[in-house]
Structure 1
């Protein structure tokens, strides 16, 4: 005798098939697994809440999760597989270059893709109705970061970078925004220079700030430790625009050395009632404070569920619904619009903060700038 699987929490069992949604996240190395698990926690919590509220027209919402491991080819293959499995849409992903591969594949297949966290502006090469994104585009967030640097008096900026479309795009945004204000960006190859050599180069260039456009834990941890121990660089500001210090593993790896390194975060100063409720549930699920990535995951499923309830399950109807979406998310209202330089539909309203960890209390985050 075959026993059917249990219905998702909160949904009364019916004979109706579940509404299946593909979910992409980096859950194994070399992916940023901590971000991936926060993203998945948000996706799963929202799916549970959707099912507790009756699902999609009484049908349970089911996530079909695939690990991208930060591999663009693996992500593209996962989207193709999910399309064959008949999912209604695909959500998720954190790494920009991986999300770009997923978006390109979804566009070619005519499969709706709502990207949660990746910020690269050119998520697709062309305007497409199939792709939408919640996270602010990189050009917005990194310009806010550049304004923070200018306000703090920094004009001579060094970036320690490894080859990547995402890092190169970030460096270009910074350079273009800083140049009219007398700012200058010097790029240093983190693959070619050992940490001590990087310190020598920073001294030679007279940099007052170093931005870590590199992966965590390495080479970020070694670079931070080398700079902190070099007395010649005692006044140097280190920054990590991509958000590496957001996660608990940063503080665990670096302790006090990881404090006072400003990064971008997409949360309001104070959460509203929905955000506060979700934050508490996420904290319980993760056993640690939720990052902005977890909230992005939650909002992704919340938005898509509303689209499915209002416009149905047909893929073309979902893709046509993005400009008509208006949903209350954990961090404020969510709407989509066309944005120059962004191929898909771009969500708006997410706040942008520059924050860092308090040197006196590294578990506490300080807001340094908002934009």
Structure 2
């Protein structure tokens, strides 16, 4: 967000690959474009998943930040009209054990991790998973912490069945499949969706520079005319209500989790 604001102030074209805050800049700007879906879009998909699976009493473990506060507000706005409640639990004031007690007291059916990774997220998951009172509580992580290989390494069997947002289609097209294979070989593990965001950024910038050169204003003027095939579909930028930058509306959005039978495999639970 700081980079986007600085680019706008200096008049430098900036393509954002991953940040999802709706208010990426404080004012509408012609200089900034974004690939990642706005938080309000992705997290509404997650809220729909919660409602479809019967979760209307949702607790969120939070830490102070604009991103987590925005996420909690989106969830509340989506759940409240349909009879849902969102209880915020401040992890700067609670231990994981005290959090477990609060979940029992509040009769929450789902706990969402709006906290940093690896800590305190890992400690929270371990505490909840090993508290028999909370066997039926769903743990969720809309921000995508379980996407990364380190999650599985740190949590082992506790890393599975934690739904999160993944910005990849269920099936990759030819370009996506080639990129996935090349990255898997280079990384010696499956690439995260963030790797595809990075590759798509390069594809877009290469196309813009090839077509319009390096002059700043010409690049910024070209955002609405971009039509390029990325790893996750055809990329175009448009103006989207509530978003002040040129936005790809939208990258694929799915709710997935790590399979209990094979933690390195992802199961699709809901699609946006």
Residues 110 and 140, structure 2, Cα contact 8 Å, conserved in 1: yes
Please list every run of 5 or more consecutive structure 2 residues that lacks an aligned counterpart in the other structure: none
Matches within 5 A, 1:232-271: 232-271=133-172
Query: Which protein shows a greater Rg?
Result: 1
Q: Give the Å deviation of 1:349.
A: 3.5
Q: In the alignment, does 2:115 pair up with 1:214?
A: yes
Q: RMSD in angstroms over aligned alpha carbons?
A: 0.7
Question: Contact between 2:240 and 2:249, CA under 8 Å: does it hold in 1?
Answer: no
Q: Does 1:195 align with 2:90?
A: no
Moved over 2 A (4+): none
> How many residue pairs were aligned?
272
Q: Which residue of 2 aligns with 1:342?
A: 243
Instruction: Confirm or deny: 8 A CA contact 1:332 1:349 kept in the other structure.
Output: no
Deviations 1:215-265 (A, max 9, x none): 111101110000011111010000000000001000000011111000000
Equivalent position to 1:146, from 27, 47, 54: 47
* Residue 177 (structure 1) aligned with residue 78 (structure 2): yes
Q: Secondary structure at the match of 2:100?
A: helix
Q: Which residue of 2 is the match for residue 81 of structure 1?
A: none
Task: Give, in whole Å, the separation in 1 of the partners of 2:20 and 2:28.
Answer: 16
1:328 to 207, 220, 229: 229
Deviation at 1:348, TM superposition (A): 2.2
2:11 alignment partner, one of 100, 110, 124: 110
User: Secondary structure, in 3 states, of the residue corresponding to 2:265?
Assistant: strand
**Secondary structure of the structure 2 residue equivalent to 1:348:** coil
Q: Shift of the alpha carbon at 1:319?
A: 0.4
In structure 1, stretches of 5+ residues that fail to align are 1-99
Query: Per-residue CA shift, 1:281-329, capped at 9, x if unaligned?
Result: 1111211101110000000010011111111210000000000000000
What is the CA deviation profile of residues 40-69 of structure 1, one whole-angstrom value per residue up to 9, with x for unaligned ones? xxxxxxxxxxxxxxxxxxxxxxxxxxxxxx
The residue aligned with 1:360 is 261
SS at the partner of 1:226? helix
SS at match of 2:119: coil
Q: Evaluate the alpha carbon distance shift between residue 237 and residue 195 of structure 1 in structure 2; reply closer, same or farther with a 3 A threshold.
A: same
Which structure carries more relative contact order (alpha carbon 8 Å, separation 6+)?
A: 2
Q: Which residue is 2:196 aligned to?
A: 295
Matches within 5 A, 1:30-45: none
Counterpart pick for 1:285 among 164, 181, 186: 186
- Counterpart CA distance in 1 for 2:189 and 2:250 is 26
State which of 211, 214, 223 in structure 2 corresponds to 1:313.
214
**Which residue in 1 is equivalent to 2:60?**
159
Normalised by the length of structure 1, the TM-score is: 0.73
